[in-house]
Amino acid sequence: MDDSWTIEALLNSALSKRDDFRVVGYCSDVSVAAEMIKRLMPDIVIIDLCMAYLDGAALLNAIRDLGQVCKIIVSDHSARNALLTTKLVEAGAAACLAKSDLVNDAAAFFDRVNDAAARLGSQDRHYLGTFGGKAYKSFTPGAAGTAGFPRPVDEQRRLRRISGKRLANSVAERQFDLITRHVAKVTAYPTCLLTFIDEDTQWIKSSVGFGIKSTPRDQAICNYTISQGGAFVVVDMAADTRFAANPLVTHGPVIRSYAGHPVLGADGVIVGALCVIDNRVRTVSSHVLDQLAGMAAIVGELIDQRPLLAA
């Protein structure tokens, strides 16, 4: 009998009692789970080997090349079968734990998870697990980023592109407004923003449900989105030391959860970010990430079509 839903409930119960893990997303099959893992690049992935909608071994194989991601298999079968455990380790599993371990001693279970991650040199604890056909990512807020903010490696090239494309302003443009309106509707988020960041200002080029037109750059959550080059998700800003004191979190408009995707030109230069935000803690589904990625690509193409003017 497949007990994935029971394990999911047990896992969520155990996670709810810990401060170092928070659920933020889900998906439905191997390909979607693998894509989400590759986008978010968590430190730790926990995979239930036998699930109703997701083949754990197939997922492990799909992400075996992600050497920096600690992959944990949870299965009573592997715990009792040395040959199976050997095969899973050869396929990239850092550890194989029994489901009964989670039931009998959850603290020891997570200690073993963290020990496996430590062997790979992980410092922050990010978690992305797949149970019952769902995938979850969480993180432990760390000290990194509390001083200042991250900057993209191609910062100067990025700034020249924003200046040349005349994007450093909050002048409304219908093509962008149609996109933010669409994203807000299909993701069911109350707020969607398209932002462009210059040297010291975040310009909100288009927005739904947000009255602010610009912010100082050091308040821009989108700094993290444009710096890491992939989807950036924070389930609870107030619980993350990077953002807990941000005026946009502590005062109006009180941003609590965030999901963003960078806007890239055809040559890979990141010029902006498309994001959705809410004033409550909420999970982020693969549907939301897919919509952000797809519409961010469209914004990138629209920007590519604009003339590049001399600075």
Residue 110: pLDDT band with limits 50, 70, 90: confident
- Asked if the domains 4-139 and 155-304 are classified in one and the same CATH topology, the answer is no
Burial bucket for residue 128 (CB in 10 Å: 0-12, 13-18, 19+): buried
Of 231, 230, 232, 60, which is closest to residue 129 (Cα–Cα)? Answer: 60
Residue 11: pLDDT band with limits 50, 70, 90: low
Residue 117: pLDDT band with limits 50, 70, 90: confident
CA dist., res. 227 & res. 106, Å (int): 36
Helix, strand, coil percent values for the chain (each to nearest 5):
40, 20, 40
Q: What is the mean pLDDT of residues 224-234?
A: 87
DSSP, res 188: T
According to the model, what pLDDT value does residue 125 have?
A: 43
pLDDT in tens, 16-74: 677 666 554 555 567 777 777 777 777 788 887 765 545 778 888 888 888 778 888 88
* E strand or H helix at 271: strand 270-278
According to the model, what pLDDT value does residue 143 have?
A: 31
Helices and strands (H and E) in the chain: how many: 12, 13
CA dist., res. 80 & res. 191, Å (int): 49
* Residue 15, pLDDT above cutoff 50: yes
* Residue 165, pLDDT above cutoff 90: yes
Residue 272: pLDDT band with limits 50, 70, 90: very high
CA dist., res. 44 & res. 117, Å (int): 7
Of 188, 210, 206, which is closest to residue 284 (Cα–Cα)? Answer: 188
Q: From 3.40.50.800, 3.50.50.60, 3.30.450.40, 3.40.1440.10, which CATH number describes the 155-304 domain?
A: 3.30.450.40
CA dist., res. 219 & res. 254, Å (int): 12
Query: What separation in angstroms does the CA of 23 have from each of 109, 239, 282?
Result: 18, 13, 9
Q: What is the mean pLDDT of residues 4-11?
A: 60
According to the model, what pLDDT value does residue 9 have?
A: 63
Q: What is the mean pLDDT of residues 280-292?
A: 90
The rounded percent of the chain whose pLDDT value lies above 90 is: 40
DSSP, res 55: B
7-11, 83-87, 231-235: which has the minimum mean pLDDT? 7-11
pLDDT in tens, 173-219: 999 999 999 999 999 999 999 999 999 999 999 999 998 999 999 99
* Residue 169, pLDDT above cutoff 90: yes
Query: Is the CATH code 3.40.50.2300 the one for domain 4-139?
Result: yes
Of 274, 273, 307, 266, which is closest to residue 291 (Cα–Cα)? Answer: 274
Q: What is the mean pLDDT of residues 216-240?
A: 90
According to the model, what pLDDT value does residue 201 have?
A: 95
According to the model, what pLDDT value does residue 8 have?
A: 60
Domain boundaries, the chain: 4-139, 155-304
